[in-house]
Structure 1
Amino acid sequence: MDVITWTGELACHLQTAHRWNREEFAERLGVHSQTVAGWHSKPAIVPRGEIQAALDTVYERALPPVRLRFAHLARPPAEAAAQALRVAIAIVLRGAEVLLVQRRDGGDLHWQFPAGVVKPGADPAAVAVKETRAETGVHCSVRALLGSRLHPATGVQASYHLCDHLMGEPANLDPAENAEAAFVPVADLTRFIPADRIYRPVLDALGASA
């Protein structure tokens, strides 16, 4: 979403989307931390022009995961209820290996399963297959839906699709969002993604496949 005029509330959502504390956010904007505190206490306030420009810059430099979080936070409650953000996640198996991508999230790198945003009217299973191919070059087919949940880290509705590898070696085809793509041994998965961050049905399915 594009922001025409920043308010204190939208600025606070931008801070939350980046997962910065008030001091970190103030430093990025070149303002005093008390200014940020004022936005939290008076969300309707409209920052002055030079701060509007600084907020524009921080938003424009944000990586896609940050923009997704901001869009989810900034959506009006009625619209959020009607159009909850959905993603389709592909769990692609090749023998005893599973496909992962290393996401760029701010200054951090995190291993995750390939995923894509599901637009209204789209089939989540088709999105999982399409986004996997677009991100990694790997062709796959969906075997089963493992379930869905409200993702605890991002707050989006996530559906998990168990997929079979058809062809292709992983390559990083989306360097703006990812740093790497690779098949890793299922037995080593929790070395890449902590077990408490993996949807339980995914662990169960991979355990049965290992």
Structure 2
Amino acid sequence: MTKPAPGDEAMPTVAAGVILRDGCLLLVRRRVPEGALIWQFPAGKVERGESPKDAVVREVKEETGLVVAGTERLRERIHPETGVHIVYFACSILSGTAHRAAPDEVADITWVPLRDVLHYIPGGLYLPVQRYLDTTATRPAPGGYGGRVDRAV
């Protein structure tokens, strides 16, 4: 991980939620794109005094309406497109229906079958995230949560 140069503002940390359900990955499209990124994981900045795990739970709820638990810290990196420090968390759905809960920030939300992820994220996923999805996609969801999901436009 790189550190900001002396005198630069501290690099913010962003927590991103990797949410898989029935072989589909939850992605959001921001109103304001971040670099070349169009579709991405629900995510947001870690606030002062907040842990990245608490931040991902808060951000997923704020953006998608889902109540989730951060079940596994996957990895972290400096994102090559945005230069932002990102911590990725696998999340399980506890309750709720996915929808555009923050329409001023999120333009669209969708569940993408894993086979179609490259149509949404042409550069592919961060390798540790892809490995997690490869090993998790075939396991049934904990507690059998099937929750209803609306695709908001």
Normalised to the residue count of structure 2, the TM-score between the two structures is 0.77
Shift of 1:155: 0.9
Aligned to 1:94: 21
1:76 Cα deviation after fit:
8.0
Establish whether residue 198 from structure 1 lines up as the match of residue 125 from structure 2.
Answer: yes
Cα offset, 1:187, TM superposition: 2.4
1:175 corresponds to which of 93, 103, 118: 103
Q: Percent identity?
A: 37
Q: Is the 8 A contact 1:170 1:183 kept in 2?
A: no
Give the aligned partner of residue 4 of structure 1: none
- Structure (1 or 2) with the greater helix fraction: 1
Deviations 1:103-141 (A, max 9, x none): 1235x8811100010123310011101110111101111
Matches within 5 A, 1:8-27: none
Query: Which residues of structure 2 form unaligned runs of 5+?
Result: 138-153
Letter matched to residue 124 of structure 1 = P
What's the CA shift for 1:101?
0.6
Counterparts in 2 of 1:99-114, with a 5 A limit? 99-105=26-32, 110-114=38-42
Indicate the residue corresponding to 2:86 in structure 1: 158
Cα gap change, 1:168/1:119 in structure 2, threshold over 3 Å: closer, same or farther? same
Q: Distance in 2 between matches of 1:197 and 1:176?
A: 27
TM-score between the two structures when normalised by the length of structure 1: 0.58
User: Are 1:123 and 2:51 matched, yes or no?
Assistant: yes
Q: Distance in 1 between matches of 2:94 and 2:117?
A: 21
5+ long unaligned stretches in structure 1:
1-74
Show the counterpart of 1:132: 60
Instruction: Look up the match of 1:85.
Output: 12
Q: Say how many residue pairs are matched.
A: 132
CA contact (8 A) 2:37 2:81 kept: no
